Amino acid sequence: MLPVIALVGRPNVGKSTLFNRLTRSRDALVADLPGLTRDRKYGQGQHDECSYIVIDTGGITGDEAGIDKAMAQQSLYAIEEADVVLFIVDGRSGLNQADELIADHLRRSNKPFRLVVNKTDGIDENVAMADFYGLGVGQPLPIAASHGRGVSQLMELVLEPF
Ligand code: GDP
Ligand code: MG
């Protein structure tokens, strides 16, 4: 059985961009419109010798009704299915109330997860991460999904137990 990694976070933080990079596909719709990917999407990736399954999700806004509710439900399913969760936040927009809700959920889920600060390209990594220590969920890992910065180090760390 391949390890299953779920990408979870509020809309527009770069989950689909990371999914595409990990699976090298253009399949997960990436757009400037928040919340475009509405269902869970599965792909396969590989790091060194280790293959894994990655799940892209629509996102959790913390203000769920209608389609947002469905998206949040998909994210909760993805967390259940995963061996490890990558909790993605946006290093450019700073800490958000939805991030707090997701952190609470993950803490209660008993699922291993890592906090990943995306969009650190062209900005000071340490400044981008500073806000997110406040979530109290451990050391944030900086990446830039669209450029690939930090992604291989992230996968090294995440796949280490498998
Ligand atoms: P999702 O809603 O979480 O799946 O987010 P997307 O992957 O669709 O990305 C949302 C927006 O953020 C798009 O305009 C992406 O091009 C942009 N984006 C994603 N990753 C990065 C990154 O590492 N740096 C920057 N500057 N923008 C990014
Ligand atoms: Mg998406």
pLDDT at 27: 57
- The binding-site residues of ligand 1, defined as CB within 6 angstroms of any ligand atom, are 11-17, 30-32, 34, 37, 59, 118-119, 121, 144-147
As a whole number of Å, the CA-based R_g of the chain is 14
Tell me how far apart the terminal alpha carbons of the chain are, to the nearest angstrom.
10
The owner of tokens 């997110």 is 132
CA of residue 96 to ligand 2 center, whole Å: 18
The pLDDT score that the predictor gives to residue 41 is: 85
Ligand 1: residue of 55, 146, 149, 151 to mutate (most ligand atoms within 8 A of CB) is 146
- Confirm whether the ipTM is greater than 0.90: yes
Ligand 1 atom at minimum distance from 9 CA:
3
| CATH fold for domain 4-159 | Rossmann fold (3.40.50)
In this predicted structure, what is the pLDDT of residue 36?
A: 47
The reply to whether 121 sits in an annotated binding site is yes
**Residues in contact with 117: Cβ distance below 8 Å, sequence separation at least 6, in sequence order:** 89, 90, 91, 125, 128, 129, 132, 140, 141, 142, 143
Q: Give me the average pLDDT of each 10-residue run along the chain (162 residues).
A: 94 94 71 54 91 88 76 88 96 92 92 98 94 95 97 97 94
Q: Where are the domains of the chain?
A: 4-159
